[in-house]
Structure 1
Amino acid sequence: MESRHLRYALALAEHQHFGRAAASLGISQPPLSAQIAAVEREIGERLFDRTPRGVFPTAAGVAFLARARRALCEMTAAAVEASRAARGETGRLRMGFIGSALLDPLPGVLGRFRRTLPDVRLDLREMSSPESAAALVAGELDVAVSRGAPRGAGVEGLVTVPIGADHLVAVVGVGHPFAGRAEIRLEQLAAERLIVAAPEQEPAVAAHLRGLFGVDATALDTATLSRDIHTITGLAACAVGVGLGPSRMRLASRKDIWFCDVAPRLRLPDLQLSFRAADDSPVLAAFLDVVRANCAEVGSRLDGVLAGRRARSSEPAPDRG
């Protein structure tokens, strides 16, 4: 039994006449009569009474038609949902991210994504950069936002593009001698109690700080280690020491802290967005479109990736007959 048989039966029930039903379906009467008879033989019950006054459903027909209406509605809904899924309008996106990305650019990206595709479920997890890289390679995430390019086994299968640049800044409480200054020099930092991100949380930043201080790394060896930039700024406000972190920390400014640039200026590893090169998920493609619209730093590489995905999605499905 095919969907057209359900439509034939429903049309006949509506018009109560083979000729009028056939005309509404755009077919002639004999094929309609033959198809209804075939359905009745398949079911083993008479679905319609043929009378001089018209054609009317039997008790069996009434039960059949009720199910037929629901079945056709479900088939229509299935086709609609399939089309929406193919366009990335439904489904799930699993993202791992470092906390500093919540200052910028994730508010703009995720806000626009939610407004554009409200029926996509977002599974968001704050993770260290090494954790998100491993989870992405393992297929536990669809996209990751990390500090610096992912490292470790399997990362050669990832596409990684920059989505935000940072340089090193210092943050102090308003009672600290550095408060009010536009910048402080590296040699001044070497004599301070420092607050930095734990190496396991931000290994790329930790490596850059080691390179910056060189052999005089005593301040780093005795530094207070924090999980994220919010802890760094909070401890600085408590006069624990001088916090060091990415310049986007300025977006988390509060009345009891002061930010200073560090001289000489040190560019930190970029924020990077990564995803599996072989992942052809429509939801991921839709997310990348939003990223492209919100992050000018993604560059031509992501443009090329998106162009390739669109070309593949427009190819006709292979004939497997």
Structure 2
Amino acid sequence: MEARHLRYAVALADHGSFRRAAAAVGIAQPPLSKQIAALEREVGARLFDRTARGVVPTAAGDAFLTRARRSLAEASAAAIDAARADRGETGRLSLGFVASALLDPLPVVLSRFGAQRPDVRLVLHEMSTSRSTSALVAGELDVAVGLGPPRGTGAESLVSVTIGRDRLVAVVARTHPYAGQRTITSEQLRSQQLIVAPGEDEPAVAVGLRRLLGPESWTLEAATVARDVHTIAGLAACGVGVGLGPSRMRLNARPDVWLCDVAPRTQLPDLTLSFRAGDRSRVLDSFLNTVRDNCPDVGRALDQRLERSTASDHEPPRRGDGPGRDR
């Protein structure tokens, strides 16, 4: 039994006439009569009565037509769902991110993606860069936003693009002696109780801080460790010490803290978006298009990375290529 047999039966029931039903489904009347007769033989019951008033379903026909209409509706819905999935309008996207990305650009990207793709289920995980890279390589994430280029086993299979650049700033309570200063020097920082993110989670940031403060400085060893930028700002507001974090903290500054630059200027690892080179998901394509539209200068860089990734699928690896070479 094929879908066309169901359509023929429904058309005959709806029009009550072989002639009108044949015209509705686009075939001649004799073939339609033969198809209905074959369907009745396959079902093992008479589905229609031929009367002077026209063709009407039998009791068996009514039971058959209830299921037939439901099956045709499901088939139509299946085709619509498939087309929507092919356009990236439905599905699931799993994203791992560092907390500072929630200051910029994720708020705009996520809100606009959610508005454009309301039927895509977003699964969000806050995690360190090293953890999100491992999860991305393992297929547990579709996209990762971290600090610096992905490193470690499998990182060479990822495509990465910079979506934000940052430098180090200091945050203090409004009552702190440094409040009101435009700049805090590394010498001043060495005499303060610092508040920093865990070094084991973001080793690239820890290396930058140690370079700024000096390898022998006790300040980092005695620092208060906070889980993310929001906790750093909160502890600084409580007077615990001087918090150190990315300059994007200025985008969501609290009224009870003061932020100032750090001298010498200390560049932090770029905020980097990564995904698997072989991922051809339509939902991922939709998400990347939203990133293109809302992150300045990302579109061209992303297209270049994708072109290189596609080309590398058809070329043997060259000596010296590695996960950080183009990133």
TM-score interval (norm. to shorter): over 0.9
Cα deviation code 1:156-195 (max 9, x no counterpart): 1111111111101011111211110111211221222211
Aligned to 2:284: 284
Could you tell me how far 1:13 is from its partner in structure 2?
A: 1.0
For 2:26 and 2:308, locate their aligned partners in 1 and report how far apart those are by CA, in whole Å: 42
- Runs of 4+ deviating beyond 3 Å: 304-310
Aligned to 1:217: 217
In structure 2, stretches of 5+ residues that fail to align are: 311-327
In structure 1, stretches of 5+ residues that fail to align are: 311-321
Q: 2:159·2:309 contact (CA, 8 Å) conserved in 1?
A: no
Aligned to 1:314: none
For 1:301 and 1:255, locate their aligned partners in 2 and report how far apart those are by CA, in whole Å: 37
Q: 1:49·1:57 contact (CA, 8 Å) conserved in 2?
A: yes
Aligned to 2:301: 301
Q: Does 1:192 align with 2:187?
A: no
Could you tell me how far 1:90 is from its partner in structure 2?
A: 0.5
For 1:232 and 1:250, locate their aligned partners in 2 and report how far apart those are by CA, in whole Å: 13
Shift of the 261–308 alpha-carbon distance from structure 1 to 2, 3 Å rule, reads closer
Shift of the 72–163 alpha-carbon distance from structure 1 to 2, 3 Å rule, reads same
Q: 1:95·1:125 contact (CA, 8 Å) conserved in 2?
A: yes
More displaced 10-residue stretch of structure 1: 113-122 or 255-264:
255-264
Could you tell me how far 1:301 is from its partner in structure 2?
A: 2.9
Give the CA RMSD over aligned residues.
1.7
Aligned to 1:76: 76
2:215 partner amino acid: V
Aligned to 2:139: 139
For 2:25 and 2:238, locate their aligned partners in 1 and report how far apart those are by CA, in whole Å: 78
Aligned to 1:316: none
For 1:309 and 1:290, locate their aligned partners in 2 and report how far apart those are by CA, in whole Å: 20
Q: 1:201·1:227 contact (CA, 8 Å) conserved in 2?
A: no
For 2:44 and 2:81, locate their aligned partners in 1 and report how far apart those are by CA, in whole Å: 34
Shift of the 283–307 alpha-carbon distance from structure 1 to 2, 3 Å rule, reads farther
Shift of the 306–30 alpha-carbon distance from structure 1 to 2, 3 Å rule, reads farther
Q: Does 1:38 align with 2:63?
A: no
TM-score, length-normalised on structure 1?
0.93
Aligned to 1:163: 163
Secondary structure at the counterpart of residue 167 of structure 2? strand
Cα deviation code 1:9-58 (max 9, x no counterpart): 11111221111211222211100000001101111111111123321111
Could you tell me how far 1:84 is from its partner in structure 2?
A: 0.4
Shift of the 58–307 alpha-carbon distance from structure 1 to 2, 3 Å rule, reads farther
2:154 partner amino acid: G
Could you tell me how far 1:197 is from its partner in structure 2?
A: 0.8
1:78 partner amino acid: A
2:279 partner amino acid: D
Q: 2:161·2:305 contact (CA, 8 Å) conserved in 1?
A: no
Identity of matched residues, %: 65
Q: 1:184·1:262 contact (CA, 8 Å) conserved in 2?
A: yes
Shift of the 186–299 alpha-carbon distance from structure 1 to 2, 3 Å rule, reads farther
2:41 partner amino acid: R
Aligned to 1:116: 116
For 2:185 and 2:245, locate their aligned partners in 1 and report how far apart those are by CA, in whole Å: 15
Secondary structure at the counterpart of residue 123 of structure 2? strand
Could you tell me how far 1:255 is from its partner in structure 2?
A: 2.1
Cα deviation code 1:223-275 (max 9, x no counterpart): 11111111111111122111111001112312221111011211110111111
Question: Residues 20-35 of structure 1: matches in 2 within 5 Å?
Answer: 20-35=20-35
Q: 2:277·2:309 contact (CA, 8 Å) conserved in 1?
A: no
1:12 partner amino acid: L
Aligned to 1:262: 262
For 2:282 and 2:90, locate their aligned partners in 1 and report how far apart those are by CA, in whole Å: 9
Q: 1:165·1:270 contact (CA, 8 Å) conserved in 2?
A: yes
TM-score, length-normalised on structure 2?
0.91
For 1:309 and 1:4, locate their aligned partners in 2 and report how far apart those are by CA, in whole Å: 44
2:173 partner amino acid: G
Shift of the 306–41 alpha-carbon distance from structure 1 to 2, 3 Å rule, reads farther
More displaced 10-residue stretch of structure 1: 118-127 or 219-228:
219-228
Aligned to 2:226: 226
1:281 partner amino acid: S
1:50 partner amino acid: R
1:295 partner amino acid: C
